[in-house]
Structure formats: C-alpha cells, structure tokens
Amino acid sequence: MSKRSALVITVVASILGACTSRGTPGREATFAECTNGVDDDDDGLLDCADTTCGAHCEGGNGGGDASVPRDSGPRVDARITCDAPLDVVFVIDVSTSMREEAERLRTGVESIWNAAQDLTSNTQFGLVVFVDDAVAVNGCSPFASIASLQSELMRWRDFCASNRSPSSDLQNTDCTENSLDALHLAATTCPWRAGATRVIVHVTDDTFAERPQRLSDAVTVQHTYAEVASELVTRELRVGAFAVPGAGEPCGAGSSPDVGRGFHAPFGAMPSLPMQTRGRAYDLRAVRSGSLDMAASITELLADEYCTLF
C-alpha cells in the first residue's frame, strides 16, 4: 500500500470515528454531541430531537440532524427581538413658507402616534421648532397625549404667519434657516433614553448656515455641520429629513442655490446627515405635490428602524 493510500484511509477513519463517537457521558448539549448520531445522555432522544440541542438545530427541538450550520451570509439590518423604547423628536422649520407642512404633520400625527404604539407601548414624542433660532418646546419633555401634541403643532402652524423666530422674536429677513442649531438642540436637550431606538424627523424647505454666520443680520449660528453630525452619530440619532433637493423656492428674499446639501447631497466632503445616521431623505416637493404622504413615510421609517442596530 502506498503512503498516499494509507494517509487517505487514516483521514477517512478519523472522520468516521468523530461522527460516531460519544460525547461527555450523561450530556447531549454541545455541537459535537448534538451532531454525532449518538444518544449521549441515554434519554431516548437523539441529537436534534433532544431539547438540550435546540441551539444547534435549525429546526429547533424535534427537528432533523443539525449537520453543518447553514451559512446564509452576513445579516444586514437584522431585527432584534425586543421591546426597546422608541423615542421620536420632530424638528420643524416654522418659517412663513412652512405652514402647509406643519398642518400636514398636525393632521397626520395621530396615525404616526398609533403606529409607534403598535411597535411598543414604551414610546415618547418631543418637539423642537426653529427659524433663525430654535426652541425645545416644553424643554423637549415628552407629550402626554396625541391631543397635546396636536394642539402644540396647531400653535406652531399658526406661528408660521408671524415671520419671526421662536426664541428671539426677531423678524426673519432671509431665506436661510437654522437647521444646525435646531438639530444640535434636539440631540443635546431631549431626553433620549438608554436602549431606545432614537429618531429625529426634520422638516425644512430651505438651506442652513454654519457658525459664525449670522442669519437675518441678527442671529449668529452656534454650531458647525461637523459638530452636529458628531452629536447625532455619537447619540445614535437617526435622521429622517424632509427637505427640498437642488435649488430652493423663492422665499421673499431671493432663493438659495442649493437647499439639498446636507440632506439629499453631501455637505462639502462630508456625507449627508441621513446617510451618516442610517436615516432617510424625503423630497419635500413630492409631499407638497401630494405624491408622497408625509405621515405614511414617517410611519414606515419608524417601523423599519425600530429595534435594528445603528
């Protein structure tokens, strides 16, 4: 017999021996013990028929032989079975052109609230509003009821007609709004809970500026894009942004050349906020035309992101 033949026989014999060898006497729990075709614990249940082998068997207790674990490739955005809290904060532009969006949110928030409650009863909603400066409504404390949130959204819908900023009460005289300070305020002020799926719904129809630029020649922006992105990512806050791609609409003081940057497109060399935070960007023009339902889109976002890894 050649050395090659002897080697093959030795290897085959080793494999067969491993497949029929007994595990630890009185136990049938490890992968080897649950795949060797032997009733190691002498309870009359072989391999995957034994309850102690469930972790190694595709079909669970009572299934077939575990054999080799199936390789289904990497798990992408795999949902975790959980009852984690769900924290949602609306960050809404309340400048004069945003009345329609505030009203859409007010009328649709009941369906959003109910859909979130279907995911988990441990849900909370907060609100931040902004023009050239920003306000965390009620300190961003969670709303106790749908009615209280609807009432607050109605108040800010009506505020849109004032053409003023919510904190300083200064008149708004330019197109650019202060999304960055509003998002930073939401990230650092709102009571995000440990272990919660955290979502910011941001709605604006114009662009933003960075520190140290001044808005309406009166309000100095406090933060940069990079600083805000860092806060959002560090706190695992997913941003669903309803914004306008491309050039902005006339605002009474001209129009902005690119209002989609940072939302639909990169901001300089940095990816958009939705991309950095595993969120999504929605076309606000589609909402205004009626081809995109804002409430349904938010509901879908919450359902898709709930209990998934950031």
Residue-wise pLDDT for 247-304, tens only, equals 867 776 666 778 899 999 999 999 999 999 999 999 999 999 999 999 999 999 999 9
State residue 14's pLDDT score.
Answer: 42
Cβ atoms of 102 and 151 closer than 8 Å = no
Residue 304 in tokens: 């898709």
Instruction: Determine contact, residues 64/216, Cβ cutoff 8 Å.
Output: no
Tokens of 65: 């032989």
**Model confidence at 85: pLDDT above 60:** yes
3-state secondary structure of 163: coil
Q: Which of 63-67, 132-136, 212-216, 270-274 has the lowest mean pLDDT?
A: 63-67
Supply the mean pLDDT for the chain.
85
Spatial distance between the Cα atoms of 128 and 87, rounded to a whole number of angstroms: 14
**For residue 57, what are the β-bridge partners?**
none
pLDDT in tens, 24-45: 556 666 656 666 667 777 776 7
User: Would you state the pLDDT for residue 204?
Assistant: 97
Predicted pLDDT at 46:
64
The 10 Å Cβ neighbour count of residue 55 is 11
C-alpha–C-alpha distance, residues 303 and 119, integer Å = 7
Phi, psi of 67 (to 5 degrees): 55, -145
Whether residue 70 is predicted with pLDDT greater than 90 in this model: the reply is no
The pLDDT of residue 214: 98
pLDDT at position 269 is: 97
Asked if residues 232 and 187 have their Cβ atoms less than 8 Å apart, the reply is yes
pLDDT of residue 251: 74
**Of the listed ranges 56-65, 127-136, 178-187, 278-287, the one predicted with least confidence:** 56-65
pLDDT at 176 over 90: yes
Taking a C-beta distance cutoff of 8 angstroms, is the pair 225, 231 a contact? Answer: no
With a cut of 60, say whether residue 10 has pLDDT above it. no
The whole-angstrom distance between residue 26's C-alpha and the CA centroid of its chain comes to 47
pLDDT of 137 reads 99
Above pLDDT 70, what percent of the chain? 75
Q: Which CATH number fits domain 86-305: 3.40.50.410, 1.20.58.410, 3.10.50.40, 3.40.50.1820?
A: 3.40.50.410
Q: Locate the domains of the chain by residue range.
A: 3-56, 86-305
Strand partners, 281: 241
Per-residue model confidence as pLDDT tens digits over 120-173: 999 999 999 999 999 999 999 999 999 999 999 999 999 999 999 999 999 999
Spell out the long-range contacts of 133-139 with Cβ–Cβ below 8 A and sequence spacing 24 or more.
Answer: 133/165, 133/166, 133/167, 133/168, 133/170, 133/178, 133/181, 133/219, 134/166, 134/167, 134/178, 134/181, 134/182, 134/185, 135/166, 135/167, 136/185, 136/186, 136/189, 136/190, 139/189
**Minimum mean pLDDT range among 2-16, 33-47, 66-80, 207-221:** 2-16
- 47: pLDDT strictly greater than 70: no
Q: What letter represents residue 150's amino acid? A: Q
Strand partners, 280: 240
Mean pLDDT, range 106-130, rounded to an integer: 98
Q: Average pLDDT of 15-32?
A: 53
How far is it, in rounded angstroms, from Cα 132 to Cα 217? Answer: 10
Q: For residue 249, what pLDDT is reported?
A: 78
- Name the nearest CA neighbour of 84 among 201, 202, 192: 192
pLDDT of residue 206: 93
Residues 260 and 221 sit within 8 Å (Cβ to Cβ): no
